[in-house]
Amino acid sequence: MSKAAEIDIVSVSKMYGATTAVHSISLKIPAGSYCCFLGPSGCGKTSTLRMIAGHESISSGDLRLGNIVVTDFPPARRSTAMMFQSYALFPHLDLIDNVAFSLKMKGVTRDIRRAKALDILKLMQMEAYGTRRPAQLSGGQQQRVALARALITEPEALLLDEPLSALDPFLKIRMRAELKKLQKTLGITFVHVTHSQEEAMALADLIVVMNNGRIEQAAAPRTVFERPATAFVARFMGDHNVLSGKVRAISDNVVEMETAGGQVFTVRDIAQQVGRPIDIGIRTDRVRLAPPSEKGLGFQAVVSNIEYRGASVKLTATGAGSDDFTVIVSDADHFRKPVAVGDAVSLSWTLEDVVPLGQLSA
Ligand SMILES: Nc1ncnc2c1ncn2[C@@H]1O[C@H](COP(=O)(O)OP(=O)(O)OP(=O)(O)O)[C@@H](O)[C@H]1O
């Protein structure tokens, strides 16, 4: 069993000609953790993963794996292995030879490398398929083989680029559970790139949310969800309403925020200055259809859309400068006293449900 490596990314940037894809990011990924890089297309997550793997050069900054600075090392000299989105299996080789390939490159004799490949295929419950070719496998099986091929080098960190994107929704959820189990069994560091917040929440110990080549937040899933650091994170993770305004007054740790339309909301516990722009996040499942208990903790809105979701109902409302303020109510609450499109409603929340967000998104 290989050991796990801490990955230390120190002020790393990536430039492609005049384009800066990654802007001086710094991050420590603890040894043995499951880390997900999450963000929209083009945010720089794949470039970051490829720099960790050594498939892309680091334009500036340093990368440390365990105790070794590997910034200029080629992929084979790093203790990492990468599993690609396309699986990149060789169509003309059987599974054992596919899995054993990197050992062949290292000059390991045929018998030893095939025996080792079979061991890893066993770990992936694929030993019965050793003599098949990749085209004779389902998508999920191909993925297991691709994983086996990456793991045969006994890496200290496994790097996965959108590993589940080629699978159908059911298989995606099954393989997600298998990945998590595998990471626990092996105990090595996993770094997994995804654009799915659901996938990151399900898998990660550490979620790194990226936007425009920068890290917006790196924290445990629950922290990212409950205390999103920025308006971007709150929007990207979903399930939050974001309201924007300017700080109007501050007293006793309570900040008053005024929207462009003159609506005033209260927020607590933040260091702010009067006149500065501010965003707040309010969880969609914490909003109630009731008049606010205090001024600044709700507003009047008009229901613009209703979606039935089974266990819950999603209401969209217009008011306070927002035309898509979302409220998730349980099906029981909704059907006890249904509202209709066009109804005027009072929306409210408590001061605890208001999350001040760090920066105003452009
Ligand atoms: N080889 C390249 N040459 C030039 N620009 C590139 C190259 N690779 C990536 N980029 C640019 O760098 C930025 C970040 O790309 P990257 O692939 O890292 O993002 P990503 O978040 O992984 O996106 P996706 O989810 O679409 O793969 C993008 O603007 C992209 O167009």
| pLDDT digits 0-9 by tens, 214-243 | 999 999 999 999 999 999 999 999 899 999
Enter the tokens of residue 202: 């399900």
Coil, strand or helix: which one is 355?
strand
Enter the tokens of residue 268: 């607590």
What residue type is 234 in one-letter code? Answer: A
- How far is Cα 41 from Cα 57, in angstroms, rounded to an integer? 21
Q: Are 284 and 243 in contact (CB under 8 A)?
A: no
Q: What is the ipTM of this complex?
A: 0.94
Helix axes 95-105, 139-151, angle to 10 degrees: 20
Closest residue by CA, ligand 1 atom 6: 16
- Mutating to test ligand 1, I would choose from 13, 14, 20, 46 the residue with most ligand atoms within 8 A of its C-beta, which is 46
Q: Are 329 and 315 in contact (CB under 8 A)?
A: yes
Coil, strand or helix: which one is 142?
helix
State the architecture of 233-357 in CATH terms: Beta Barrel (2.40)
What's the pLDDT score for residue 139? Answer: 82
Distance 313 CA to ligand 1 centre (A): 37
Ligand 1 neighbours (beta carbon < 6 A): 16, 19, 21, 39, 41-47, 195
Of 319, 177, 171, nearest to 259 (Cα)? Answer: 319
* Atom number, ligand 1, closest to the C-alpha of residue 213: 14
Using alpha carbons only, give the angle 294, 300, 302 rounded to the nearest 5 degrees: 155
* Atom number, ligand 1, closest to the C-alpha of residue 14: 12
Q: Does the predicted TM-score (pTM) go above 0.95?
A: no
Enter the tokens of residue 288: 């109630």
Distance 29 CA to ligand 1 centre (A): 22
**Looking at domain 7-226, what is its CATH homologous superfamily?**
P-loop containing nucleotide triphosphate hydrolases (3.40.50.300)
- Mutating to test ligand 1, I would choose from 16, 85, 86 the residue with most ligand atoms within 8 A of its C-beta, which is 16
Q: Are 65 and 78 in contact (CB under 8 A)?
A: yes
Domain parsing of the chain, residue ranges:
7-226, 233-357
The tens-digit pLDDT sequence of the chain (362 residues) is 568 889 999 999 999 999 999 999 999 999 999 999 999 999 999 999 999 999 999 999 999 999 999 999 999 889 999 987 777 788 899 999 999 998 888 888 999 999 999 999 988 888 898 889 988 888 888 888 888 998 998 999 999 999 888 788 888 898 899 899 999 999 999 999 999 999 999 999 999 999 999 999 999 999 999 999 999 999 999 899 999 999 998 888 889 999 999 999 999 867 778 899 999 999 999 999 999 999 899 999 999 999 999 999 999 999 988 889 999 999 999 999 999 999 999 999 999 999 999 754 44
What's the pLDDT score for residue 360? Answer: 46
Distance 21 CA to ligand 1 centre (A): 6
Of 277, 271, 242, 240, nearest to 257 (Cα)? Answer: 277
Question: DSSP label at 100?
Answer: H
Distance 58 CA to ligand 1 centre (A): 14
Coil, strand or helix: which one is 247?
strand
Q: How far is CA 18 from the centre of its chain?
A: 27
Distance 16 CA to ligand 1 centre (A): 9
What's the pLDDT score for residue 20? Answer: 96
What's the pLDDT score for residue 359? Answer: 54
Q: Determine what percent of the chain falls in helix, strand and coil, rounding each to the nearest 5.
A: 30, 35, 35
Distance 309 CA to ligand 1 centre (A): 35
What's the pLDDT score for residue 300? Answer: 96
* Atom number, ligand 1, closest to the C-alpha of residue 22: 14
What residue type is 40 in one-letter code? Answer: P
- Mutating to test ligand 1, I would choose from 19, 159, 215 the residue with most ligand atoms within 8 A of its C-beta, which is 19
Coil, strand or helix: which one is 40?
coil
